A and B are shown apart, each in its own frame.
Chain A
C-alpha cells in the first residue's frame, strides 16, 4: 500500500540560499511524525511548502495515497489542516464567535459543536470572553480547538507545543491520539530536544535544510 503522504526531492531556496535540500520522507496512515531542528533549520519553510503557502520553485513530488497532492488545487486543500505560528484568532471576538466563524467558514463536518470543542480544550467558562483576554497558552488552546471542528485527515502543526503549560502539552498529546484513532496523520515541528511522552512514532532531525537522522 502506498503511504499516506510521500515527499520526494523537496528543495527550496530563498535569495539563492538553500533552505531545504532534497528532502525525502513519507508519512503512514495513523502516524505522527515530528520534525525537529534548531531555529532556521527549515521546519517552518517545510510546513509552508507542504500546505502551499510557499510556491514550488522546482519540481518535486508530493503524493497522497499514490495520487499527486497539490495544495494549489482547492480540492486538495480540503484534505489537511494547517496551524502556523500565528493563532489565526480575532482578538476582538469572543472564543465562541471565533469558533463559530471558523465552523461556518470551513464548512466543518466533524459533528462537534463549538461548545463541546471549547470544553475539550479546557476553555469552558470562557465562551463569552473576548480572545484578547486570554493568556498566550489559552489562545493556543483556542487555536487547537479548531482542529476538532473539522475532520481533516492530515494535520500540519507548526510548533503546537509553544506557549503551553504541562496541561496544555497533555492536551496536544490527547488531540494527537484522537487524530490517529480516527485514521488521520500528523506532521508537526518542534525546536530543541523536547519530545512528548507517547508520541510521535518517528522523529526526523532537520539541520540546515537536510535530514540529519531519523529515530523510530
Chain B
C-alpha cells in the first residue's frame, strides 16, 4: 500500500472521529437508545430474574442492532449534503479504501461504545459476571458487521432523503446471521456450553464483510451519486 493512501485514510478517520467528538449529543444518542430499549423489556415483561436472564442475550443484541442501524443514516447522508462525499469519489485514492476508513470511524463512535456500555446492560439483566466478557466479545465481533451491512444500505439510498424506517427495513433482514450467532453464543455460555463454534462463525462473517463490503459500498456510492 502506498503512503498517500494511508495518509488519506488516516485523514478521513481522524476527521470523522473529530466530528463525532464535536457532536457529543449525537455520540451519546445510540447509547441512550440502547439503554432505553433494553430497559423497556423488564417494564413490560416483569422483573423475574430467571426470565430476564433468559431473554437477556436476545434483548441486548436486538437493542444493539437497532441502535447501530438507526445511527447509520448520518454516515453518508451528511457528507452527501455538504459535498464532502464528492471529494471522496473524486479522490485519486481507491474509493473502497476510503469507505473502509469511514466505516471504521462509524464503528468506533457507535459499535465500540455499545460494546463498552454492554456490561451495564448485562448487570441490569442480572447476568453472572463471567458472562459479561462473552457479551462484550460477541458485540466486539458483531457490531463491525452491522456497521458494514448498514453502510451498504445507506450508500444505496444516499441522496434519497429517507433514512430511518426504509433503511431499517432494507438492512435488518441481512443482519439475521449476526443476530443468531451472537445471541446464541451468549446463550450457550450461560448454559455452560462451548462457544468456539459461534465465535468462529462470527469471525468468518466479520472477515467476509471486511473483504467484500467496502467494494459493495463503493459501487453503491458511485451508483447513488450519479
Which of B12, B22, B90 interacts with A52 by CB under 8 Å? B90
Bound form: Cα–Cα A102–B93 in Å? 13
A58-78 vs B, CB cutoff 8 Å, 1 = contact: the mask equals 000000000000010011011
Contact (Cβ within 8 A) B92 A105: no
Tally A residues with Cβ within 8 Å of B.
Answer: 28
Chain B, interface residues (CB within 8 Å), range:
20 to 34
**Closest residue on chain B to residue A101 by CB atoms:** B15
Contact (Cβ within 8 A) A93 B15: yes
**Closest residue on chain A to residue B20 by CB atoms:** A92
B83 CB within 8 Å of chain A = yes
Contact (Cβ within 8 A) A90 B82: yes
A85 CB within 8 Å of chain B = yes
Q: What is the CB-to-nearest-CB distance from A128 to chain B, in angstroms, rounded to a whole number?
A: 14
B86 CB within 8 Å of chain A = yes
Q: Which residues of B1-51 have CB atoms within 8 Å of chain A's CB atoms?
A: 4, 7-8, 10-12, 14-15, 18-19, 22-23
Which of A51, A77, A85, A104 interacts with B11 by CB under 8 Å? A104
Assess A53 versus B225: contact at CB under 8 Å? Given A77-B90, A105-B8. Answer: yes
**Closest residue on chain B to residue A74 by CB atoms:** B92
Q: Which residues of A74-95 have CB atoms within 8 Å of chain B's CB atoms?
A: 74-75, 77-78, 82, 84-93
B126 CB within 8 Å of chain A = no
Q: Which residues of B76-92 have CB atoms within 8 Å of chain A's CB atoms?
A: 81-84, 86-87, 89-92
Q: Which residues of B83-128 have CB atoms within 8 Å of chain A's CB atoms?
A: 83-84, 86-87, 89-94
Interchain residue pairs with CB less than 8 A apart (8): A52-B90, A53-B86, A53-B89, A53-B225, A86-B83, A90-B15, A104-B10, A107-B8
